[in-house]
Amino acid sequence: MGSAMKQMRLRLDTRLVHAGEPVPRVGGAVALPVFQSSTYEYSGDGGDYHDLKYIRLNNTPNHAALHTKLAALENAEDALVFGSGMAAISTTLLTILGAGDHVLLQDCLYGGTHDLVTKDLPAYGISCGFIRADKPAQWQAALKPNTRALYVETISNPLMQVGELKAAAAFAKKHGLLSLIDNTFATPVNFRPAEWGFDLSLHSATKYLNGHSDIVAGAVIGSKDLIGRIKRKLDHLGGSLDPHACFLLHRGLKTLGVRVRQQNQSALRLARFLARHRAVKSVNYPGLPTTRGHARAQALFDGFGGMLSFELRGGLAAARRFIQGVTLPVVAPSLGGVESLITRPATTSHAGMSPADRAALGITDSLVRVSVGLEDIIDLTEDFNRALRPV
């Protein structure tokens, strides 16, 4: 962004388009080109290893533009992209935690994160404990003298619940913990964690940030100091993002605002339609008063997101029939793309969790999860309606 633009208080959609763009533009190119070069000329003045311009060190022009744009979107100081959302999460946790440390996490988490902290981190001497994100009164009892961080998700996957997010950031501050939040489901359009006191915001950029189901990428956003520490770890662990994927993520980001606002609207309409349908037992969507955390979502978010899940009265057999019956949504894991996706989390995102753990959290085998895409909502609703008809 040019200096005149920096002085203006630009709104999110303008920042999506202009923040981080090189000044002057490279060769006058309106779109930042892909810098498909693994290494860069070295001036020979003996700087720090981490400042060498090299593709694994995540500092090519494509990386730099993304870092500035992502930080601007969440009103934070700095950002860093990664080769996947899991690379962002694992590199960040391994930066801020070491042998002997303990981390408190929300009980209902993305399955990959849950597996990482329960199955991999113990081998590094890092232990974890779980809390209900909507029960702050219980958090103090879960604290240990070696607890270093608190980790939550803005909208929990797959039950779409919204915890006491403001209280979580305040609790972490009070007890000297770093507060981390996975903001993948909300996106910076609906929620900006730094504005509510979170130290680090994590994203699977594979999802809404890119928005087209064609790359894998991750991001972490926070203070210059913390991002600098995480970058050093990333330089060694090597989960950097390829410049061509940077280019695609950069292109996808420019339309994030229009995409997410449309998905907010469509998901709300679909959630309301499902909640009224007699074949549907219950619907989980932060925009519905019946979903736990609706009032908090109203207070904290600019929109309720494009993700919903629901249970059919006919249980597992009906869920299977429904998924086979819809024609527009693609039956596939992942989320946040232009096409609607549908899955049963017990067989995809949460398959790594034991059936007992899933049952304790209320994730049944029959739960159906939908990532609402950009299809016309009338077509989508009619398709769902057809598939819900009794056979």
**Residue 110 or 198: which CB sits closer to ligand PLP?**
110
- Please report whether residue 110 would count as binding ligand PLP according to CB under 6 A: yes
- Please report whether residue 129 would count as binding ligand PLP according to CB under 6 A: no
Tell me which residue of 219, 214, 211, 210 sits closest to 241, measured CA to CA.
Answer: 219
**Residue 61 or 252: which CB sits closer to ligand PLP?**
252
Q: Which of 79, 86, 215, 274 binds ligand PLP (CB under 6 A)?
A: 86
CB of 203 to ligand PLP, least distance (A): 8
CB of 89 to ligand PLP, least distance (A): 6
Tell me which residue of 219, 197, 185, 174 sits closest to 66, measured CA to CA.
Answer: 219
Cβ-contact 231, 268 below 8 angstroms: no
Q: Which of 158, 218, 257, 305 binds ligand PLP (CB under 6 A)?
A: 218
- Please report whether residue 112 would count as binding ligand PLP according to CB under 6 A: yes
The residue nearest ligand PLP at its CB is 85
Q: Which of 79, 178, 216, 372 binds ligand PLP (CB under 6 A)?
A: 216
Type of residue found at 104: L
Residues, the chain: 391
Tell me which residue of 357, 40, 74 sits closest to 188, measured CA to CA.
Answer: 74
Q: 123 φ, ψ to 5°?
A: -65, -20
Type of residue found at 73: L
Cβ-contact 371, 331 below 8 angstroms: no
**Residue 59 or 84: which CB sits closer to ligand PLP?**
84
Type of residue found at 322: F
Name the one residue in this structure whose structure tokens are 């003298």: 145
Return the range that interacts with ligand PLP (CB under 6 A); candidates 78-86, 97-105, 250-258, 282-290: 78-86
**Residue 156 or 377: which CB sits closer to ligand PLP?**
156
Q: Which of 58, 60, 62, 84 binds ligand PLP (CB under 6 A)?
A: 84
**Residue 22 or 352: which CB sits closer to ligand PLP?**
352
Tokens at residue 277, please? Answer: 């349908």
User: Within positions 284 to 303, which residues make up the interface with ligand PLP, using CB under 6 A?
Assistant: none
Cα distances from 370 to residues 198, 274, 336, in angstroms, run 28, 12, 10
Sheet order of strands, 307-312 included: 280-284, 307-312, 368-371, 341-343, 330-331
Interface size with ligand PLP, residues (CB under 6 A): 15
| Contact pattern from residue 164 through residue 193 relative to ligand PLP, giving x for each residue in contact according to CB under 6 A and a dash for the rest | ------------------x-xx--------
Q: Which of 157, 190, 210, 284 binds ligand PLP (CB under 6 A)?
A: 157
Rg of the chain in Å (alpha carbons): 21
CA angle 336, 240, 129 (to 5 degrees): 70
User: Within positions 39 to 58, which residues make up the interface with ligand PLP, using CB under 6 A?
Assistant: none
**Residue 182 or 311: which CB sits closer to ligand PLP?**
182
User: Within positions 322 to 341, which residues make up the interface with ligand PLP, using CB under 6 A?
Assistant: 334
Question: Dihedral of the CA atoms 84, 88, 94, 96 (nearest 10)?
Answer: 180
| Catalytic annotation, residues | 56, 110, 182, 207
**Contact residues for ligand PLP (CB under 6 A)?**
84-86, 110, 112, 157, 182, 184-185, 204, 206, 216, 218, 334, 349
